[in-house]
Structure 1
Amino acid sequence: DSNESSPESVHAQIADFMRQYNIEDDDELWLVIDRDRWHERMLSQVAQLCAQNPHLNFCMSNPCFELWLLLHLEDVREYDEVTSNELTMNRKNKAGVTWLKKRMRDLLGSYSESSYDAVRLLPEVPKAMSIARELDITPADRWPQNIGSRVYLLMESITGNNLKNQ
């Protein structure tokens, strides 16, 4: 399963970057990954490596990054049980498109990982952050065990807006 986008490879790339560039005390680097197909042991090792480095932060979306985007458009906490299960499983349809990618296409009109209307999502960032924080019922865990995205932590760092302190 290992390839250039595996958590291990991404961590190695970040470590190389940190060696090549002069990382200042207040610099932050973020490892943003999907839960999807990565083995628990691999994720645990990478999360541990990040925890040992004061400049490196680890945030995961479970099952994948599209969940973070979806939170800008819908409150998944309001889904009925069937829809919630579809989101959790995030299976591919006959065309090979995951449930979340299809949902994003339905809501935005078109969606691909490399091309979507990010400008439309921007005004909804605070809402997505708030929902993601509320979904994060196990913040002490290294990543969300259930549906969730820790991208809100990255956004709090960028915006200086820590919802926990409000």
Structure 2
Amino acid sequence: MPREREELFRDSGFADKEKIIVLAFEGNDTEQIYFEEFKDSKKFNDDLIYLHLLKRPKSDTNSAPNHVFKKLKKEAKDEYNFNEHDELWMVIDTDRWKNIPEIIEECKKLDNMFVAVSNPCFELWLLLHIKNVSDYKEEELELILRNAKITSKKNYLDVKLTEILGSYNKSNPKPELFIPHLKIAIDQAKRLNAKNEDFPTSLGSHVYKIVEKLIKV
């Protein structure tokens, strides 16, 4: 039998919150570190919202969207009686998994469950904080979208972030370099989503849909 949502608030020490937003990630490090930093920053609106991050153990290397979906549903939606205002979000990429349309359709069948997809990956969302992508020529945008592997540990977007920041590491993305520029990232991501798609079929990131709900206005 599902537990009452108040138990989550009481266990977490946030009994005064009116809304739960739960996030589950495809990646082990980057996304979780980014949102933990955002959650602790002055830009996070914690007046009414309790943000809960579903943490995946390092030993859990299964990052397929189906796995993330089942984890989010089992550990959050099936665990607590969420009300109509609470939301559960999957944060996933297109560069490794091709069944995202099916995942989105499954979420549409359920109350409260949503998907924030980045194409090609979460690093594009980071890039939008610190670079005006309209400055890139079409050829460069194609390379970013393709996001080919450059070295054993870096893809093309990792290299672009390194060029701008001097260094970039997925396991230590230094979110403090990005968080101050959240509104820039949101504005750029919205422009890339001019077609208002369920998920970006070209270059884009829908992570802004979550961040807009969490940021102080």
SS at match of 2:118: strand
Are 1:11 and 2:92 counterparts? Answer: no
| 8 A contact 1:68–1:128 mirrored in 2 | yes
Are 1:21 and 2:85 counterparts? Answer: no
Give the distance between the partners of 1:92 and 1:4, measured in 2 at CA.
20
Note the residue ranges of structure 2 that are not aligned, 5 or more in a row.
1-60
Look up the match of 1:58.
Answer: 115
Note the residue ranges of structure 1 that are not aligned, 5 or more in a row.
162-166
**CA offset digits 1:11-64 (Å, max 9, x no partner):** 00111012123323321111110010212xx21111011112221111100010
Mark the structure with the bigger radius of gyration.
2
Q: TM-score, normalised by structure 2?
A: 0.67
2:188 to 119, 126, 131: 131
> Across the two proteins, how many residue pairs are aligned to each other?
156
Deviation of the 1:95 alpha carbon: 4.1
Give the distance between the partners of 2:63 and 2:155, measured in 1 at CA.
18
Give the distance between the partners of 2:144 and 2:131, measured in 1 at CA.
12
Q: Percentage identity across aligned positions?
A: 31
Amino acid at match of 1:149: S
Report the RMSD for the aligned CA atoms in angstroms.
1.6
Deviation of the 1:96 alpha carbon: 4.7
Higher helix share goes to which structure? 1
| 8 A contact 1:60–1:151 mirrored in 2 | yes
Look up the match of 1:31.
Answer: 90
Deviation of the 1:157 alpha carbon: 1.3
Look up the match of 1:146.
Answer: 202
Q: TM-score, normalised by structure 1?
A: 0.87
Give the distance between the partners of 1:102 and 1:24, measured in 2 at CA.
43
SS at match of 1:54: coil
1:114 to 159, 167, 171: 171
Deviation of the 1:111 alpha carbon: 1.6
Give the distance between the partners of 2:156 and 2:174, measured in 1 at CA.
19
Amino acid at match of 2:208: Y
SS at match of 2:167: coil
Give the distance between the partners of 2:69 and 2:152, measured in 1 at CA.
32
| 8 A contact 1:92–1:98 mirrored in 2 | yes
